[in-house]
Amino acid sequence: MVPFASARSSLTTSARLRAAPDAASTPLSRPTAATAQTTPARLPPHRHRLRILASRRHPKSIGIPHSLLLPHRQHPSIWQPPTARAELTSTAVFRPRRYRIEPPLPSLTDPLPPRLVRATLRTRSRHRILAKQTLLHFSPWSARLTTLDSEATIRLCRLLHRTMGSDLDLQIEQLKKCQPLSETQVKELCLKAREILIEEGNVQHVDAPVTICGDIHGQFFDLMELFKHGGMCPETNYLFLGDFVDRGFYSVETFLLLLAFKVRYPDRITLIRGNHESRQITQVYGFYDECVRKYGSVNVWRYCCEVFDYLALGAVVDGRVFCVHGGLSPSISTLDQIRNIDRKQEVPHDGAMCDLLWSDPDDITGWGMSPRGAGYLFGGDVVQQFAHTNDLDLIARAHQLVLEGYKLMFDQTIVTVWSAPNYCYRCGNVASILKLDDALNQKYETFDAAAQEAHGVPAKRPAPEYFL
């Protein structure tokens, strides 16, 4: 990151996008070459205004902070928050086209208007702004923004991040106490999560070090016990292998807490889909009933099910460890075939997507019929061939109860990780998490269920007899 010149505080912090009749009518003229080399502090005040090239599909006015962004290193016409890998410049030249910004609003010394924060949180599609770990992230597919004040951009970015993140931080603290959000808050959280998840691939890349977790199944207080052993997000980078809901007493709070972490720290937690992230399954095994009981309607269940459709089907850690909820499929031999699946749908009854979420390893040769009625059983030869074809060291999956917390099979080429201790509050099993360091060395840490006094008083309902 290169140093940047001192900037005036006259750069405005917010604006409205208004359609301009044409490019010639805008008051923002294109800077000359001489002007482009002038430091921001010496530019006329009107030069500090933002110019934007926006999609014709979005002609409506939106609230957006226009001194927020800096140029992307590989795409100079696209602006984003400053990061360690971004090259910063203090000038930019763009010809205004469809939109113009007016009027100049408060300076950096003024407090950020709450209305602007709400509008920014609600901007969607190509005008999306997402809260990240330390700064805001501007999607490379977003409208192209320019500003001439780099130092002010950084200050505003930090200010806006603190302001935007405050409400979400409060919701996270509320969920950590196992206190449900309001229906309106759930709807807004799910909308934000969908905006993030839609940009992730079917097979999401994850950087090591990372902690891999198996099924949670609505056991909220055991999830908090997991965080005690693995560390809280965002200090620890997490990868959850699905099955967040059903069976446990607190599926709503469990899933919403993980979803809030995903929105707040999208680079520090990865959520992939399990077979229970399904409309049909949740109507049978508890999540649907819990939503109706706690909110009096099916709306929250519908919001969450819409998020389920956007969850990734798998993940790859540093190109060497493939993570999936269930297992392999006879229709899939390469990771690229998984990437080509249309995942934004209800889990089908058969096919590759179904197999990835439902299949199990077994001591057989080749493929076998699954007693679950969905997916397949697959043997060690199938695992060896898939790992060789895709240059993998390990396949990490969940989906099956393991009394010891984890189980390695087939010469340690596949491992089952189970993270719900005392499953269904009666199985007596321990749980585990898999920690991969920078060199992808494996460390398994087991833990017991949370103390009974920490559970509170759950709603009474019979434990299910059938284990998927």
The per-residue pLDDT for range 314-330, each reduced to its tens digit, is 999 999 999 999 999 99
The helix-helix angle for 251-264 and 220-230 (nearest 10°) equals 40
Strand order in the sheet with 414-417: 203-206, 314-317, 321-324, 394-397, 414-417, 406-409
The string of DSSP codes covering 356-374 is HHH-EE-SSSSEEE-TTSS
**Window from 137-141, 260-264, 350-354, 427-431 with minimum mean pLDDT:** 137-141
Do 157 and 221 belong to one domain? no
| Residue 159 included in any domain | yes
Do 287 and 368 belong to one domain? yes
Domain that holds residue 366: 177-455
Do 276 and 408 belong to one domain? yes
| Residue 8 included in any domain | no
Do 229 and 127 belong to one domain? no
Q: Are 15 and 70 in contact (CB under 8 A)?
A: no
| Residue 7 included in any domain | no
User: Among 104, 135, 165, which residue terminates a domain?
Assistant: 165
The string of DSSP codes covering 193-223 is HHHHHTTS-SEEEEPSSEEEE-B-TT-HHHH
Do 368 and 393 belong to one domain? yes
Q: Distance between alpha carbon 164 and the CA centroid of its chain, in Å?
A: 17
User: Among 131, 165, 199, which residue terminates a domain?
Assistant: 165
The predicted pLDDT at position 452 comes to 73
Q: What is the CATH number of the domain that holds 276?
A: 3.60.21.10
DSSP 167: H
Do 160 and 222 belong to one domain? no
Cα gap 203→409, rounded to integer Å? 23
Do 300 and 405 belong to one domain? yes
How many domains in the chain? 2
More confident residue, 96 or 465: 465
Cα gap 159→119, rounded to integer Å? 16
Do 140 and 222 belong to one domain? no
More confident residue, 117 or 396: 396
User: Among 105, 130, 165, which residue terminates a domain?
Assistant: 165
Other C-beta atoms closer than 10 Å to the C-beta of 30 total 12
Q: List pLDDT tens digits, range 181-230.
A: 999 999 999 999 999 999 999 999 999 999 999 999 999 999 999 999 99
- Quick check: is 217 catalytic? no
pTM for the structure as a whole: 0.66
| Residue 133 included in any domain | yes
Among candidate residues 66, 161, 276, 325, the one labeled active-site is 276
Q: How confident is the model at residue 458 (pLDDT cuts 50, 70, 90)?
A: low
Do 272 and 155 belong to one domain? no
The predicted pLDDT at position 28 comes to 36
Residue 346 exposure: Cα atoms within 13 Å on the Cβ side: 8
| Residue 2 included in any domain | no
Report the SS3 class of residue 269.
strand
Helix (H) or strand (E) holding 251: helix 251-264
Mean pLDDT calculated for residue range 107-120: 37
Do 188 and 155 belong to one domain? no
| Residue 461 included in any domain | no
Do 333 and 431 belong to one domain? yes
Do 137 and 240 belong to one domain? no
| Residue 273 included in any domain | yes
Q: List pLDDT tens digits, range 71-112.
A: 444 444 444 443 333 222 222 222 333 333 333 333 333 444
